[in-house]
Amino acid sequence: MNINATLYGKFVLVLAIVMTILCYYLGSRKTQTPKLVAAIGCVTCLFPPLALVYLVVLVLKDDIRVIE
């Protein structure tokens, strides 16, 4: 079975956009550095299973407290 590089590239591009948005949202709720979390989430899209594991780790992380 052949894997088309163009199809894989489009998949990674769409996954990178979705993961960046999700990681930024979760990063802003669960960490002090949401931009760094979003950047790491975008880079992990080159290997999609790693991106999903990273997203699961973010979901399971506890929310931070905002001191007002």
65: pLDDT confidence band, cut at 50, 70 and 90? confident
Name the packing angle between helices 34-43 and 48-60 (round to 10°).
150
More confident residue, 66 or 10: 10
- The label of the residue with tokens 């992990």 reads 44
Q: What is the pTM of this model?
A: 0.84
In this prediction, residue 37 carries a pLDDT of 94
pLDDT per residue over 30-61, tens digit each? 999 999 999 999 999 989 899 999 999 999 99
Q: Pull the structure tokens for residue 53.
A: 């594991």
19: pLDDT confidence band, cut at 50, 70 and 90? very high
